[in-house]
Copies of this chain bind each other. A is one copy, B any other.
Amino acid sequence: MERLMKSIRIGINDKIFLKDPDSSDLGKRIVKQSILMIDEMGFESFTFRKLGAQIGSNESSIYRYFENKHKLLLYLASWYWGWLEYKMVFATNAIPDPNEKLQTAINVLTQTVKEDDSFSHVNEVLLNKIVINEYSKSYLTKEVDQENKEGYFEIYKRLVNRLGEMIVAVNKDYPYPASLASSVLEGALHQYFLTEHFPKLTDCNESVSPTQFFTDLVLRTLTYNNDG
């Protein structure tokens, strides 16, 4: 798996960047260091000037890769969701039983990332933390419809839809597969956030994972029968 992951490339909508950061050493340093810095100081405090100082490069050079830090966040998020999608498809592909397939998908999608593959310049552990803390900010904007039209959220949407299809495969009569799928993905991020900062608002903790909560939730929801 690691060897495979090492060589994959996430296909990201090329309107998100001005110059593909994967195409040069500077581009990779921008991505790598921005992940460390956004995790460290938070997206609000992060600036291209600070990033330039850290990587020994110039602010103006970074602007040749990304229009602004918002676009960089969209890039990082797309990378993350693309990577998760790959892991999910890989993990579920060979499973014929719809129940087991869905179960496996939920496992992959709602687990925290424990270690990065250390081959790529992308630290997936930190990227996972960034997505938990910052992803919402990438779409809670006045420009969301325009940016959606331009395809900046395609990978995420595809991932939600894949999960939705697996839900349908388990129970074709369940009336809200898309809402359940989007709730699982978004909710997992939220439950991780709560575990860290608002422990009284969640039952998840060191011994109970969001994966357990959502696995149970989806099971109950899809195998419900009203004779009980």
Copies in the complex: 2
Secondary structure class of chain A's binding surface, majority of residues: helix
Q: Is A82 an interface residue (CB 8 A)?
A: no
Q: Is A52 an interface residue (CB 8 A)?
A: no
Q: Is A9 an interface residue (CB 8 A)?
A: no
Report whether B213 and A224 are in contact in the complex, using a CB–CB cutoff of 8 Å.
Answer: no
- Assembly CA distance A41 to B141 (angstroms): 10
**Apart from A186-B190, A217-B217: 6 A-B pairs, beta carbons within 8 A:** A44-B142, A134-B140, A157-B200, A179-B194, A220-B221, A227-B227
A-B contact pairs, 23 of them (CB 8 A): A42-B141, A133-B140, A136-B136, A137-B137, A137-B140, A139-B193, A148-B197, A153-B198, A157-B200, A157-B201, A160-B201, A176-B213, A179-B204, A180-B217, A181-B201, A182-B190, A182-B191, A186-B187, A220-B220, A220-B224, A224-B224, A224-B228, A228-B228
